[in-house]
Amino acid sequence: MSGPPIDPVVLSQRLIRCRSVTPADDGAIGILGETLDGLGFACEQLLGTTPGTPDILNLWARHGLSGKHFCFAGHTDVVPPGDIDSWRADPFAAEIRDGFLIGRGAVDMKGAIAAFTAAADQFLRAYPDFGGSISLLITGDEEGPSVNGTIKVLDVLDKRGERIDACLVGEPTNARVLGDTIKVGRRGSVNFTLTVHGIGGHTAYPQLADNAAHRIVAMLHALAGAQMDQGNEHFQASTLQISSIDIGNPATNVIPVRAKACMNVRFNDLWTSATVERWIRDQIEPFGDGYDLAMQVSGESFLTPPSSLAVLVADAAEAVTGRRPDFTTGGGTSDARFIHRHCPVAEFGLVGQTMHKLDETVAVADLAALTEIYRQVLERFFEVT
């Protein structure tokens, strides 16, 4: 393999400088594809499309066509930076200050993508005849609707008959320090919109009306005060959070005819989205008819019990950092919710304390350490040492 080794810091900077706020790509997929092509990967840009949603550029890059197949999954899209003037440095300039790389996507998750690319480079230089396959599944749709990204690439692979034996997702799983947490499952997430229909009228004559605001408040009070479960061995308790209440009534002397609320439920493996919906209806039905409940499922809960893959990643992390990661299922959703249907999956990346925040930062030393962890993961998976 010709050329200098991949520097994970330099590659992170190049990716961060792409303003790839979902659904924009701004060249991020191209930079990564060009880099991987130079390492001998066969790279394909796959366009994910769904009517009514933005097209998304994805990358499937694979080295080798036989033997055991290890996949790294991640995303180059990022959330908006917020108030740019409130950052210590331009969020897309990728400046390094006092040993920290600053930029949107530094930890979530362009830094991890760069670290794995550098790790693959090191591994292939050391073991060119390792006898297996390494791939990267990279999407630009993880922070958005997630309908034109990873799930579309997996559909293409299914149709081709391409099989993945294990997948590591590079989400920023660590809570405090590198090496403290591996995700082995995720809670499900489902959004509900509750619309209550009443009878409008004058506030001085409530007997002639049916106040939709009063009814929705009573329903929400019942939902917010009900406990769904107490959690179990692998998951924390399921939770319902009210995210929005909208009346849309500019007049103080008018009884509203309609009220709407949005809710998000994060649920463990004691539930499915269907049973969550039934539970919500059971809570609000005592308050009468005259409402609509719409549901949008982000993902079902799943658990990959601490497997040989998770143990392998834990062994590599402990060898580099000196600490043994905990196996957890907390946090939000990730594209692992799609991947677990295809192969064993675990999640391990950088420290997530600054993700989605102003001044998102990663320690330069952590990028080097994560590269070493990922390299050892590959060595252990392919049993070359």
Pairwise CA distance, residues 68 & 214, whole Å: 60
Does the N-terminal peptide bond of residue 295 adopt cis geometry, omega within 30 degrees of 0? Answer: no
Q: What is the 3-state composition of the chain as percent helix, strand, coil, each rounded to the nearest 5?
A: 30, 25, 40
Listed in sequence order, the residues at least 6 apart from 25 whose beta carbon sits closer than 8 Å to its beta carbon are 18, 57, 76, 77, 140
Pairwise CA distance, residues 10 & 111, whole Å: 10
Pairwise CA distance, residues 244 & 140, whole Å: 28
Question: Which amino acid makes up residue 93?
Answer: A
Catalytic residue among 121, 141, 142, 366: 142
Catalytic residue among 25, 77, 143, 372: 77
User: Could you tell me which of 134, 177, 150 has the C-alpha nearest to residue 74?
Assistant: 150
C-alpha distance from residue 309 to each of 130, 164, 192 (Å): 18, 13, 35
Q: What angle do CA 8, 9, 10 make, to 5 degrees?
A: 95
Beta bridge partners of 78: 21
Catalytic, 142? Answer: yes
Listed in sequence order, the residues at least 6 apart from 140 whose beta carbon sits closer than 8 Å to its beta carbon are 20, 22, 23, 24, 25, 28, 29, 56, 57, 58, 75, 76, 77, 149
Pairwise CA distance, residues 348 & 314, whole Å: 9
**Burial code of 229-261, b = ≥16 C-beta within 10 A, e = fewer?**
eeeeebbeebebeeeeeeeeeeeeeebbbbbbb
Catalytic, 229? Answer: no
Return the structure tokens found at 47. Answer: 């366009």
Active site residues: 77, 142
